[in-house]
A and B are shown apart, each in its own frame.
Chain A
């Protein structure tokens, strides 16, 4: 359902500027970069472990 707001208070430019936090953005960016790198690493390691486990059972 769409909500319609008429004549709602608009934050001032000074208030919006005050809420700028580039360090937070950079931190989030670095975290997501690190976690996607880890996902790739554990994906490869996990797959290799699984293949080794299956091979050790079969042979």
Chain B
């Protein structure tokens, strides 16, 4: 992998990883809201 490609890719991969981690973190809140609405 060239240096410039790695430089371009690393921050984007971090954001992608963080985005996924955030969604995983928010799952309990989402589930709480959904189950409170569902009959």
- Asked whether A and B interact, the reply is no
Residues of B within 8 A of A (CB): none
